[in-house]
Amino acid sequence: MYSLFLKEIRTFLSSLLGYIVIVVFLTVIGLLLWVFPSNFNVLDFGYANVDGLFIIAPFVFLFLVPAVTMRSFAEEKKSGTIELLLTRPLSDMQIILAKFLAGCALVFFSLLPTLFYYFSVYQLGFPPGNIDSGGFFGSFLGLLFLASVFVSVGIFTSSLTDNQVIAFIGAVLISAFLYLGFESVLDFGWPGGLDLLIYSLGISAHYSSISRGVVDTRDLVYFASVIAFFLFLTRFSLARRKW
């Protein structure tokens, strides 16, 4: 499993895709936070925080993470190497986990440089250090969990088809629904406390909760459950090829 994990990492980094994802993410975030005049611009906002990073990043990841994961199994199917992969001395779940962890590692590498934004705003504060560090690192952790969910969704959609474009579109639609869909259905005016229950099923509620700097066990269980759900769906999808 570890060798497959390293192989996936090398595949990402030996092609332009991995670098493009990292560069595009950092460029978009950097321009919106420091260059373009907007509500997210740190210098225009007048307060020592980088909340804009955690508002913008999920929408950027909605497209970049599926771009990374769309080739996970789709390319293996199209090239005919999926049978060779499945006959290796690894269980289906070990193969899935190796690809999942490789995708998460790439996301983590893309997020690491954003720590520079934290230290920059830390020094820009008046007095220096006047920044909500708990909120920042809570949001950073929440963003890692959110991106991990997107990775698990992308791997699942990639296991359904040998067409990378279809895998990409499917991952974007499912991820967008998980992040925004449950919140949007609140407009229908559900009776009683049903609206809060529906809202709690979406990623947005738990991402907002953990972004306050308080790590709640319920949020961790939610993210772990959603990730496990899509990984097991992927296992079921791969198992169908053996029937």
pLDDT at 209: 82
Tokens for 120, please give them.
């920059």
Q: Is the pLDDT of residue 147 over 90?
A: yes
130 vs 71 pLDDT, higher one: 71
- What residue segments make up the domains of the chain, in order of their start? 2-242
- Dihedral class, residue 91 (left if φ above 0, else alpha if ψ from -120 to 50, else beta): beta
33 pLDDT tier (thresholds 50, 70, 90)? confident
242 vs 27 pLDDT, higher one: 27
109 vs 166 pLDDT, higher one: 166
> Distance from first CA to last CA of the chain, Å, rounded?
24
Per-residue pLDDT tens digits for 38-91: 777 776 666 656 777 888 889 989 998 998 888 888 887 887 777 777 777 778
% of the chain exceeding 90 in pLDDT:
23
Per-residue pLDDT tens digits for 198-242: 777 888 888 888 877 777 888 899 999 999 999 999 999 888 765
pTM for this model (two decimals): 0.89
Q: Which whole-number Å values give the CA distances from 162 to 46, 74, 78, 157, 232, in the listed order?
A: 49, 4, 5, 10, 19
At 171, the amino acid letter reads: A
pLDDT at 110: 85
pLDDT at 195: 66
